[in-house]
């Protein structure tokens, strides 16, 4: 859940979006709670998944009016063995192959993909994308790919 930082304009807030990978023993620990309470960081969990080997993956947006608090939070996570990767991947749509069928929108839980109600064309909002890759498999035209 995203928390507002009291008394500050949104433009004064530092935001970092990262992917966290953590081991089974941390899945049930209150790690996010401690980041909020002890490090005063606003947390927005964009995507969460526990893999078959019980490794957890989260795409998280961290926000704070003080960038150092985010760095301290990252140090805390690293001390627990959490792997932190900046989000550098990107979803790409091949506009020539896309037929605006909308199949990808039904699997996009973050609503990064939608169909324009007036033009019936696909709209992609990269700011909402959490890189879950569900749309890649849903597209019958293979018009969506991911870059690394």
How many separate helices (H) and strands (E) can be counted in the chain? Answer: 3, 8
Considering the complex, state which of residue 82 and residue 129 has its C-beta at the smaller distance from ligand SF4.
Answer: 129
13 lies in the site for ligand SF4, by CB under 6 A: no
Binding mask 86-125 for ligand SF4 (x = CB under 6 A): -----x-x----xxxxxxx--xx-x-xx--------x---
DSSP-derived secondary structure letter, 142:
-
Taking a C-beta distance cutoff of 8 angstroms, is the pair 19, 45 a contact? Answer: no
What is the rounded end-to-end Cα distance, in angstroms, of the chain? 28
Instruction: Supply the minimum distance, in Å, between the C-beta of residue 125 and ligand SF4.
Output: 8
Strands 56-64 and 144-147: unpaired
Instruction: Supply the minimum distance, in Å, between the C-beta of residue 21 and ligand SF4.
Output: 17
| C-alpha closest to that of 116 among 128, 129, 131, 105 | 105
Q: How far apart are CA 58 and CA 48, in angstroms?
A: 4
Considering the complex, state which of residue 72 and residue 93 has its C-beta at the smaller distance from ligand SF4.
Answer: 93
Q: How far apart are CA 126 and CA 88, in angstroms?
A: 12
Which CA distances in Å does 17 have to 47, 77, 139?
11, 14, 26
Instruction: Supply the minimum distance, in Å, between the C-beta of residue 78 and ligand SF4.
Output: 26
Q: How many residues bind ligand SF4 (CB under 6 A)?
A: 27
Binding mask 126-145 for ligand SF4 (x = CB under 6 A): ---xxxxxxx--xx-x-xx-
Instruction: Supply the minimum distance, in Å, between the C-beta of residue 84 and ligand SF4.
Output: 20
What does the binding site for ligand SF4 look like in residue numbers (CB under 6 A)? 91, 93, 98-104, 107-108, 110, 112-113, 122, 129-135, 138-139, 141, 143-144
């Amino acid at each position: 859940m995203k928390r507002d930082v009291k008394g500050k304009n949104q433009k004064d807030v530092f935001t970092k979006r990262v992917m966290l990978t953590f081991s089974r023993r941390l899945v049930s620990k209150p790690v996010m709670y401690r980041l909020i309470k002890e490090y005063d960081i606003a947390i927005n969990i964009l995507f969460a998944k526990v893999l078959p080997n019980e490794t957890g993956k989260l795409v998280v947006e961290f926000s704070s009016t003080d960038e150092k608090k985010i760095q301290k939070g990252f140090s805390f996570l690293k001390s627990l063995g959490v792997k932190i990767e900046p989000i550098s991947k990107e979803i790409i749509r091949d506009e020539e192959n896309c037929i605006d069928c909308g199949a990808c929108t039904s699997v996009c839980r973050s609503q990064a993909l939608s169909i324009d109600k007036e033009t019936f064309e696909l709209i992609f909002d990269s700011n909402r994308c959490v890189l879950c890759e569900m749309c890649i498999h849903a597209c019958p035209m293979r018009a969506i790919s991911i870059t690394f």
